[in-house]
Amino acid sequence: MNAILADVFALYLKAKNFHWHMSGPHFRDYHLLLDEHGDQLFAMTDPIAERIRKIGGLTIKSIGHISRLQRVLDNDADYVDPPDMIAELADDNKTLAARLRETHNVCDEHRDVATASLIEVWIDETERRTWFLSETRRNS
């Protein structure tokens, strides 16, 4: 679960990075969309960390720890075209949904219904973000 938590933090930061650096004719719409997505991702972090602690685990402790665990690739480019931002975030969210499903399977194997229940909501939210970003991409 710590890798999922690190991925969510990394994706949150990427969404905020793109939100802060958005430009172009769809600026307002994309800016607001990415802000909403960032808020949603950040809202996932505390329940994930608390669930890890509830089941006896230790959670991430620092930015360095996140960077060692994250599987979401950073984007430190000085400029990214808005359609490329949207495409990258759509792909990252699609990958996160797949990783959440894998984690859900582990929960099922261990009969951890409480964590599985939380993950089901996060999968739905992640699929919604993927859908919004993918539909936005169609018109770019």
Rounded Cα distance, 30 and 132, in Å: 11
pLDDT in tens, 35-83: 999 999 999 999 999 999 999 999 999 999 999 999 999 999 999 999 9
User: How much of the chain, in percent, has pLDDT values that exceed 90?
Assistant: 97
Model confidence, pTM: 0.95
Rounded Cα distance, 97 and 25, in Å: 30
Please give the single-letter amino acid code of residue 86: I
* 19-29: average pLDDT: 96
Handedness of CA 15, 16, 20, 26 (dihedral sign): positive
- How many domains would you assign to the chain? 1
Domain of residue 33, CATH code: 1.20.1260.10
Q: What is the DSSP letter of 55?
A: T
**Which pLDDT score is estimated for 72?**
97
Backbone torsion region of residue 75, taken as left when φ is above 0, otherwise alpha when ψ lies between -120 and 50, otherwise beta: beta
Q: Using CB atoms within 10 A of its CB, is residue 128 exposed (0-12), middle (13-18) or buried (19+)?
A: middle
Range of the domain at 45: 2-138
Rounded Cα distance, 97 and 130, in Å: 9
